A and B are shown apart, each in its own frame.
Chain A
C-alpha cells in the first residue's frame, strides 16, 4: 500500500488500487472524499478556508477554499473518468482546537468551513453520504482507492469506518 499525502490546500485523485489517500491531523480544516464505486476512482481534498471571495488576492490554490475546491475536485474526478451520479461524498474535520478572537469576533473557522463545504456540495446538486465534523479533536482521514473504505482516526480512540 502506498500512502498519498494530501496537504493543506491540495486536491488529489487516484485510480491506482494499492493507493491510500490520507489527510493526517485535520483540525479546523476539512477533508473531503469522493469515490466512484463503479469505476473505483478516488479523490481527496484538504480545504483550509470557507471562501475564495474573502481574499482580495488571486486565489491560485483552488483547493484551499471550499467554494473553489468542490467544483475543481469534481472536474478532476471526471478527468479520471468518474460519473457525477456515482460519487459517494464524505466530509471530515472542522474542529475548533483553540478559542480564537480578532476584534471582538470569535473566529470559529472549523464551523464556517463545515457550512461552506456543505453549501458548495449542494450547489453542485450532490449529496453528502456521511460526515464526522465539529468538536475539538484532530482527525486523520484515509480513503482506500481499491475498496472506497473511509477511515477516521482520533487520538486515544479506535479508528472508525465512516
Chain B
C-alpha cells in the first residue's frame, strides 16, 4: 500500500498493533471497572485490506449488526466503529444494568464511549497530543452499509486501508464484537513517524 508518502509493510503493521495494544489494555480496564467483570480485549489484529474485501472481512455484509460510531479529531484524524451482534447488545446491557430496565441502545452507546475514549486517550498520551472524539452515534443495519461510508472517506486516494481490530471477552463470555480504527492517511503517517521510520 502506498499512502501519501510511505509504503506500508508488515513491520509497520506489527508496530501499529503494539500501539493498539496499549489502547485496548486501557479500554479493558475501564470497562471491567464499570461492569465489575473481567474484561479482555484481544491483542489488536492489524491488517491491510483491499476495499473490495473490507466489508466481508468482518462477516456477511448483509447481516444486521449494531454499531457505535465516533470520529476522532485534532492530532489523529480517523473513525472508530464498534460492531456488535444484536444478541450481544442485549447480553452486555443486562450485565451492565445489573437487573435494572435500561434501554440496551443507551447502555451499549455508553460502553462504546468508554472503550473508545480510553483507547483514544491512551493513544493521545503516548503521542503527547490531543485527540477528541465526537459524540457517539448508534445505528442498526447491514454490516456493509455501516462500514462503507467510513471506508469511502479513508479511501479517497488508496485502494487499500489499514484496519486495527480487536475482539472482546466479558467475564467468561466471548463477545464476537469488533473495535475498528480507521485512520486517515495523514494521521497514519503521523503514527508511523512516532516510531521514527524513514520516509
Task: Name which of A27, A55, A64 has the most chain B CB atoms within 10 A of its CB.
Answer: A27
B155 closest partner in A (C-beta): A48
CA distance A25 to B123 in the complex (A): 32
A54 within 8 A of B: yes
Per-residue CB contact flags for chain A residues 5-30 toward chain B (1 = under 8 Å, else 0) read: 10111100000000000001111110
Interface of B is mostly: mixed
**Which residues from chain B contact A56 at a C-beta distance below 8 Å?**
157
Tell me whether B148 and A26 are in contact (CB under 8 A): yes
CA distance A162 to B142 in the complex (A): 20
Q: B64 near A9 (CB under 8 angstroms)? A: no
**A27 engages B147 (CB within 8 Å):** yes
Q: Within the complex, what minimum Cβ distance (angstroms) separates B55 from chain A?
A: 6
Contact of A26 among B69, B145, B153 (CB under 8 A): B145
Report if B134 contacts A (CB, 8 A): yes
Hey, which chain B residues are within 8 Å of A100, CB to CB? 71, 149, 153
| Cα A7 to Cα B158 with chains together (Å) | 16
B100 in the interface (beta carbon within 8 A):
no
| Inter-subunit contact B157/A109 (CB<8 Å) | no
Residues of chain B whose beta carbon lies under 8 Å from any beta carbon of chain A:
2, 51-56, 60-62, 64, 69, 71, 77, 134, 137, 139-153, 155-159
What are 26 A-B contacts with C-beta separation under 8 Å? Answer: A7-B53, A7-B55, A8-B54, A8-B55, A8-B148, A9-B51, A10-B52, A24-B61, A24-B142, A24-B144, A25-B141, A27-B142, A27-B147, A28-B152, A54-B156, A56-B157, A60-B159, A95-B145, A98-B150, A99-B137, A102-B71, A138-B141, A138-B142, A138-B146, A140-B62, A155-B141
